[in-house]
Each structure stands twice: as C-alpha cells, then as structure tokens.
Amino acid sequence: MIENFRILREIQSLIKKENDLLNEEMGSNSRVINIQKRIDGAISEKQSKQLEESERCIKLEQLEILLTNKIEELAQLQKSENFLSSEKQLQLWENQKKQCEESKSQIENDIFELMQVSEEEENEINELDEFIQGATKSLQEIQLEVLAENNETLQKIESLKKRITTLVEELPSLFQEKYLKAQKRNPLNCLSLVSQGKCQHCYFQLSSFNKEKVENHFELMNCQNCGRILLPSAINL
C-alpha cells in the first residue's frame, strides 16, 4: 500500500519540476518582451522628435522669408535717406530704421535659437537611432537563443508529462480517481505529508482515529481542512 503513496510523491515532485520549467520559459520570453518594449519606446520617441523637427523646419523657412523682407526693407530705407527734406522727415525715417533693425535682430535671434534646438534634437535622434539599431541586433540574437532554450525546455516538459501519465496509470483506480480530483483543486501541490498528526500544508490536526488510518493502515484520505491527499510519514523511512 505504501508504494502507492511513494508513486504519488514522485508524481508531485515531477509536477514541481514541470512548473519550474514553465517558469523558466516564461522568464526567457519576458527577456525578449522587455527588449522589444524598449525598442518600441525608442521608435515612438524618435518619431515624435522627427515630427517636432519638421515643424521647426517650416517655422525656420518662414523666419528666413521674414528676414529677407527685413533686409530688403532696410536697403530701401537706406536708399531713401538722400531724399529726406525736413527735420521731421528725418525723425520719422530714423524711427522707422530703428524699428526695422530691431525687428531684424529679433528674427535673427529666433532663427539662431531654433537652429540650436534643432542641432540638439538631431543629436538625440541620432542617439536613439544607434540604440534602436544595437538593440534590434541583440534582440534577434536573444530571440534565437530563447527559441533554442524554449525548445529544450518544452521537450523536457513533454517527457515529464509522459512520465507523470505513466505513473498515474500505475496507481490503482481508487488512487487515480482521488489523485486526479485533488490535483484539479490544487494543480501545483495536491499532496501533503502528515507529521505528528498534522497536515504539513495547513497544519490541521487530525483526529487520532484518522491519524491511525493514515499512519498505520495507509488509508487514502484527504485533509479535512485543505483537501490535499495525506501522505503517511512512513513514506520517508
């Protein structure tokens, strides 16, 4: 009878291994997902920077037209200097020239500032580009690595599953039935060892009658509290 409990425990340890392998696979996949996320983030950052840059280009073109106009205006003013015939006209002319020069230098400042921002942003776009290229290359390498790892893991999982099925089939039908039911309830951990009359999973105290049944008669029982199948402590002897 105790042999059946030993089979159960072996099944349990195989399930634990299977679960560890599944976690390993998930960890490998998340490596790929994390890099992909960072690349996607860099691409969208680059796109928004490029959009801003093209808006700056349009603005720069407009400012350059304004500047050309101002230069032309100044040249015209310069030409008209010789035709001034009164003090009042000279006053007006000087005011006009001053305004024109001020607005010209304001436009020149705006152009200079805009070009500076453009230069900084272009550097950042280049850095993003370098990151995207490098990360895409390593992503491809990691994907291949992960694919190979996962294949290996899946094969191991497959053989564990086969081994578990074989072991379950070795159990008498009562054990099979109870085991499958308990396993459905707690897929990762459906067995619990009894120690000093307690379920070692939830520490529920068995009555002395039930303790006697499990420990000495190797009867198949579920913990009344957590529902796990109770394994007699003799299994460790």
Q: By the criterion CB under 5 A, which residues form the site for Zn ion? A: 199, 201-202, 204, 223, 225-226
Residue nearer to Zn ion on the CB measure, 163 or 198: 198
Q: Which is nearer to Zn ion, 112 or 209 (CB)?
A: 209
DSSP H helical ranges for 82-171 = 87-170
Distances from the Cα of 165 to the Cαs of 8, 14, 118, 175, 219, in angstroms? 12, 11, 66, 13, 23
Is residue 67 within 8 Å of 114, Cβ to Cβ? no
Q: Which residue's entry shows tokens 């796990």?
A: 228
Degrees, nearest 5: CA angle 151-152-155: 85
Nearer to Zn ion, 46 or 201 (CB): 201
Of 201 and 211, nearer to Zn ion (C-beta) is 201
Q: What number of CA atoms fall less than 13 Å from residue 70's CA on the CB side?
A: 19
For tokens 């993003």, name the residue: 128
Shortest approach of Zn ion to residue 146 CB, angstroms? 39
Query: From CA 62, how far away is CA 82, in angstroms rounded?
Result: 32
**Nearer residue to Zn ion within complex by CB, 157 or 231:** 231
Q: What whole-number distance in Å separates Cα of residue 55 and Cα of residue 77?
A: 33
Backbone dihedral angles phi then psi of residue 188, each to the nearest 5 degrees: -95, -20
The values of phi and psi at residue 229, to 5°, are: -75, 130
Q: How many CB atoms lie within 10 A of CB 190?
A: 24
